[in-house]
Chains A and B, each alone.
Chain A
């Protein structure tokens, strides 16, 4: 059974810092890995999707990497801003549509 773990569970950083969020998964037989953002009381916003054949994806200040063989992904956020404060969720698609981690709650302090 696929399990997804995200570390750290919570993170607080000053504005302007670069930061890395970590995601690991136990079964490397995945189709893709997706990073989401969730604001309080809202649904999920898709940030980046990495296909299993890809190593990384970039969108603006966000860069996500995937090492399928070791079961790891990282989300790099450059020059963090208070508006980046949210919960970030990692999810993998395999034999079930998506299996989610429990998220990293990020606070960026002005």
Chain B
């Protein structure tokens, strides 16, 4: 597709379960970013990939969160043993390069932990 694609669009799960969120970036974009948007917290950076490597994981809130990227394309964000405070919209973005190129965002995955 022409834009960044994220799946699922909505995910409801029980506390303690693991979830996996997927991001398909724009073809040819080498940089990929994950953000989290919570009510009252705004948008916070989680992790960024350049190719398949993650030079900056500083935003991951705990060791329950991990992400990988394969083939320089698709990325998955995994949250283990989910907690209610993990409920948020998880947004993925991609860009041609880091720093000085505009980031293009997907519509996000709305995660609700019961």
Contacts and interface: CB of A to CB of B under 8 A. Distances in A.
B100 A96 contact: no
B105 A51 contact: no
A103 B98 CA distance: 23
The 6 closest A-B pairs by CB, nearest first: A43-B105, A100-B43, A44-B105, A102-B42, A46-B102, A43-B107
A98 B91 contact: no
B106 interface: yes
A31 B6 CA distance: 27
A6 to B, nearest CB: 9
A98 B32 CA distance: 12
Contacts of B59: 96
Nearest to A89: B43
Interface of B: 4, 6, 33, 35, 42-45, 48, 56, 58-59, 91, 93, 98-108
Nearest to A96: B45
18 contacts: A31-B99, A32-B99, A32-B100, A42-B108, A43-B6, A43-B108, A44-B91, A44-B105, A46-B104, A49-B102, A91-B43, A93-B99, A97-B45, A97-B56, A98-B33, A98-B103, A100-B35, A100-B43
A89 B93 CA distance: 15
Nearest to A91: B43
A58 interface: no
A7 to B, nearest CB: 14
Interface of A: 31-32, 34, 36, 41-46, 49, 51, 89, 91, 93, 96-103
B12 to A, nearest CB: 16
A8 B43 CA distance: 17
A38 to B, nearest CB: 9
A98 to B, nearest CB: 6
A51 B107 contact: no
B3 to A, nearest CB: 9
Given A96-B58, A97-B48, A97-B99, 17 more contacts: A34-B102, A42-B107, A43-B6, A43-B105, A43-B107, A45-B105, A46-B102, A49-B101, A49-B102, A89-B43, A96-B56, A97-B45, A97-B103, A99-B45, A100-B43, A101-B42, A102-B42
